[in-house]
């Protein structure tokens, strides 16, 4: 049985005081919620403060990125050991915004995945196609290529610690969400890709999240799909009420 994961990606929002207040409100508002895992990924500047605010709660701390070296002369970058040091459990890797704006390649992302796992972090690996790629009917080919490259030389034991997040690029921050059926179709395809790569037992154990304009008014339909195991939430994770409602989803079958 896969435990659903709802992760909030706060992106480049929230100063330390704001992030801490949000974290404390979430801890209070999510008391008593069980049967699902919750994580929040604030900006680097707020990681330590948010970690302190989450201490003793069931909400996990995550980061939005790391640099694929243990240490060194990499000005402005953050190592996996530094993330572990502030209490991170998860780290988002391969997000489309970094692929697009910072030209991150699959080879570079693969190095990040390896080093994250080496340091005990759980990667949330993002994959997804652009609108042009979907209109050309290339979405399965694109996602398959990303998965195989990003997970190159990751073995079955390591894979058990990886979370996949399907984020259609055309739905991120646009207000356009893949329909539950579109999302389920891709999630099923991703699971079948993982069967070919790692075998059925491993593939069935991997959590696959949906991301892309997830809101309180569409989470119930999304979570009713058999291969959607949670959500990577952007803008809606920045407000207590909307994120708490997403965490407290009620699947509509």
Q: From CA 27, how far away is CA 36, in angstroms rounded?
A: 14
Q: How does DSSP assign 69-92, residue by residue?
A: SSSSS-TT---HHHHHHTT--EEE
Q: From CA 37, how far away is CA 105, in angstroms rounded?
A: 30
Reply yes or no on whether 250 is catalytic.
no
| Options 37, 119, 167, 187, the catalytic residue | 167
157-to-83, 150, 206 alpha-carbon distances in Å:
22, 16, 12
Strand pairing category for 59-63 and 5-9:
unpaired
Which secondary-structure segment (H or E) carries 174?
Answer: none
Reply yes or no on whether 101 is catalytic.
no
| Options 37, 95, 97, 129, the catalytic residue | 95
CA 199 to chain centre: 23
Instruction: Please answer whether residues 26 and 243 qualify as being in contact, where contact means their C-beta atoms are separated by less than 8 angstroms.
Output: yes
Mapping DSSP to helix (H, G, I), strand (E, B) and coil, where does residue 126 land? strand
Active site residues: 95, 167
């Amino acid at each position: 049985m896969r435990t659903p994961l709802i992760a909030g990606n706060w992106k480049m929002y929230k100063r330390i005081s704001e992030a801490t207040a949000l974290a404390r409100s979430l801890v209070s508002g999510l008391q008593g919620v069980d049967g699902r895992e919750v994580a929040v990924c604030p900006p680097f500047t707020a990681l330590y403060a948010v970690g302190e605010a989450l201490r003793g709660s069931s909400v996990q701390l995550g980061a939005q990125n790391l640099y694929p070296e243990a240490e060194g002369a990499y000005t402005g970058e953050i190592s996996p050991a530094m993330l572990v040091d502030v209490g991170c459990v998860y780290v988002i890797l391969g997000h489309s915004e970094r692929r697009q704006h910072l030209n991150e390649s699959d080879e570079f992302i693969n190095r990040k995945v390896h080093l994250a796992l080496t340091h005990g972090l759980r990667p949330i690996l993002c994959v997804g196609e652009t609108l042009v790629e979907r209109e050309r009917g290339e979405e399965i080919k694109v996602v398959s290529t990303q998965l195989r490259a990003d997970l190159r030389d990751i073995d079955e034991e390591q894979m058990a610690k990886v979370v996949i997040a399907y984020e259609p690029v055309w739905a991120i921050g646009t207000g356009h969400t893949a329909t539950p059926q579109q999302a389920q179709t891709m999630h099923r395809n991703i699971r079948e890709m993982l069967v070919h790569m790692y075998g059925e037992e491993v593939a069935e154990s991997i959590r696959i999240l949906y991301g892309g304009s997830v809101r309180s008014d569409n989470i119930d339909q999304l979570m009713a799909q058999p291969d959607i195991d949670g959500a990577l939430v952007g803008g809606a994770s920045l407000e207590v009420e909307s994120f708490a409602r997403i965490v407290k989803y009620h699947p509509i079958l």
